[in-house]
Structure 1
Amino acid sequence: MDMFDNKETTGLENLGEFGLIGHLTKNIKLKHPGSLKGVGDDAAVLDFAGKKVLLSTDMLLEGIHFDLSYTPLKHLGYKAIQVNLSDICAMNGTPTQVTVSIGVSSKFPLEAIEELYDGIYIACEKYNVDLVGGDTTSSRQGLVISVSVLGYADEQDIAYRNTAQEGDLLCVSGDLGGAYVGLQLLEREKMIYLENPKIQPDLEGKDYIIERQLKPESRKDIVELLRAIGVKPTSMIDVSDGLASEILHICNQSNKGCNLYEEKIPIDPMTYDTAREFNLDPTICALSGGEDYELLFTVKQSDYDKLKNQPDISIIGHITEASAGRNLVSRTGNVHELKAQGWNAFKGE
């Protein structure tokens, strides 16, 4: 927390829980007509007027999901919102409200929590989401952030994981592996700094992959694009744990197989080159890295013409019958069983 060491800071004990909540939420203005009552009562009051309500929750723990030695608190607040919005986008829905709960230790002054909430509010503003509630409590284990997100969709628009059909095209937005390679870069610079604090981090020219790790963006724009071009995904999931893991989720829950083509996996040149610097295989970074928060989805073959010229969507394979297996077809044409080696929440891998 050195960013506040030389400044006049305010201890959280000076405000108390309700004073802290009042301080952090005093400037909230609700944007959605469905947000009838937000912060300030026993519960929020929401009106979704005939839509299907979508709900998701995610928790981020210091030392498990983030390292404050290289994660600015403003970025962390922003990311905490984005990773939750992504789950609503993965249902082909529109996120509208969030609640934010934090557990915080006495090592954090008020100014640190204000930084965190600045990032939260920037994300809410950018993605047109209302913050309507939450909780604050003391923590002895470092910083804990729990976010719940609400959204909506018409019943016929919701995209599940278990509805992919044989012959469907496998598609993904954006590019993959950048967040993982960005994390390797940050971890390397942290180790160098710990060995010699006089050496400044060498991150020049690596902005894109650093942002992929520290400041991810949920792909609400892809949901809106698909709607605009008249494409309803037959299944969808967000890429939080690595491409391989997410494809296997769709295949397992839909009881189908797949062919994924290595040469079709979108990888940014900076991700590719930096992975090579670390003696990492860029394809494995994309397959198993995680935290890209892109959307992986399947569509009917008849939608190919609507998608083929979309620069931010790649067609990377197709769905097969279950007995054909889940296959990765290498650049040289060799067929390998697709395996997930991504994040395991209970092994910390």
Structure 2
Amino acid sequence: MFENQDKTHLEELGEFGLISHLTKNITLTQKSTVKGIGDDAAVLDHAGKKVLVSTDMLLEGIHFDLAYTPLKHLGYKAIQVNLSDIYAMNATATQVTVSIGMSSKFPLEAIEELYEGIYLACGNYNVDLIGGDTTASKQGLVISVTVLGYADESEIVYRNGAEEGDLICVSGDLGGAYTGLQLLEREKLVYLENPNIQPDLEGKDYIVERQLKPEARKDIVDLLKDMDVKPTSMIDVSDGLASEILHICKQSNKGCNLYEEKIPIDPMTYETAREFGLDPTVCALSGGEDYELLFTVKQADYDKIKFKMDFTIIGYITEPNAGCNLITKSNNVHPLKAQGWNAFGASAQ
């Protein structure tokens, strides 16, 4: 993959030379960033705001496959999945640190491509890259991102605030990232059997992008503030809709009713799922990696949100004894089960 003899080997730069090379063009944009890269630690000043911190790690062979994941897309996605955690707290993301472990198979040009995606994501979302680490890895590529943000204490939204009668809403559409992954995995197998056959992704751009280049929903946080609507609870959809609503219900000590017919599924997601013999609803409930925002709002806010196209009302919160249920299109009631991604075992998808 990186066998071109014109490539620059990382040992030619050394660790500090690599860091200097990758960070030489960084421009800080956040007022809260007092000192970024270049000292023993970054210095931040959030002027009395509450500081939020979240960390995610991506491992080659577990979270991504370089056979079909461009490094630029991977860098972009690594930032997005972390920003999403801050937005899910109704907060503003301001800084990130990025640490990478890489094997000797990666030349400088490959790492530059990865950082192109990182810098693009930081620029698009007005976030400063303020530090990190680089090290050798014998286990493939490892990317660890820590994101920092801030919010007024009164604005922070947790998972445990849902109340009986609250409306359950979700942004965007669901299941696209999972069906995109199935498509990419199929084309990888075809390629391995016959490298002369080109990948057949025509007309599937949307679901491929949902998998390779997700976008954190900062716009939803901004929209809710503009509408003067504060969610009672919120979480991002990283492990599938069912898993996430169960997190909210468990931590809020409540039940819920979700309506299958209300779950937003893009037509391309629906058609592709059917092509693979998959139930589109199951893809939405258990697929994961959509990075949409799932949140609850008070019924009193219904008139403010009822005509918004950016998110969909898909159910409501119930008393805990009612359980967590999916109401099917045929009006049958089924208990919701978390069948999404399991980091320490096989996926139940």
Task: Name the TM tier (shorter chain).
Answer: over 0.9
Residue in 1 that maps onto 2:91:
93
Match of 2:297 among 291, 296, 299: 299
Q: Residue type matched to 2:75 in 1?
A: G
Q: How much does 1:71 deviate?
A: 0.1
Preserved CA contact (<8 Å) 1:64 1:348 = no
How far apart, in 2, do the equivalents of 1:273 and 1:188 lie? 16
| Aligned equivalent of 1:109, options 104, 107, 110 | 107
8 A Cα contact 1:80 1:120, kept in partner: yes
Q: d(CA) in 1 for partners of 2:25 and 2:94?
A: 18
In the TM superposition, 1:213-292 aligns within 5 A as 213-292=211-290
CA–CA separation in structure 2 for the residues paired with 1:8 and 1:73? 19
Q: TM-score, normalised by structure 2?
A: 0.99
Partners in 2 of 1:35 and 1:218 — Cα distance? 22
Instruction: Give 5+ residue unaligned stretches, structure 1.
Output: none
Q: Runs of 5+ in structure 2 lacking a partner? A: none
The CA RMSD over aligned residues, in Å, is 0.6
Work out the CA distance in 2 between the residues paired with 1:7 and 1:37. Answer: 38
Instruction: State the distance in 1 between where 2:39 and 2:27 align.
Output: 15
Whole-angstrom CA distance in 2 between matches of 1:71 and 1:308:
38
Shift of 1:312: 1.2
Is 1:319 matched with 2:341?
A: no
Note the alpha carbon deviations across 1:137-156, whole angstroms, 9 max, x for none. 00000000000000001111
SS in 2 for 1:328: strand
Please report how far the alpha carbon of residue 5 of structure 1 lies from its aligned counterpart in structure 2 after TM superposition.
Answer: 3.0
- 1:174 is the counterpart of 2:172: yes
Q: How far has the Cα of 1:7 moved from its partner? A: 5.6
Corresponding position: 1:8 with 2:29? no
Match of 2:140 in 1: 142
Select the residue among 190, 195, 202 that pairs with 1:192.
Answer: 190
Partner of 2:150: 152
* Contact 1:179 1:212 (C-alpha < 8 Å) held by counterparts: yes
Deviation >2 Å, runs of 4+: 4-7
State the secondary structure of the residue aligned to 2:223: helix
SS of the equivalent of 2:140 reads coil
Aligned residue for 1:309?
307
1: CA distance between counterparts of 2:13 and 2:3?
Answer: 20
Quick one: distance in 2 between partners of 1:17 and 1:192? 38
Normalising by structure 1, report the TM-score: 0.99
Deviation for aligned residue 1:23: 0.4
| Count of matched residue pairs | 347
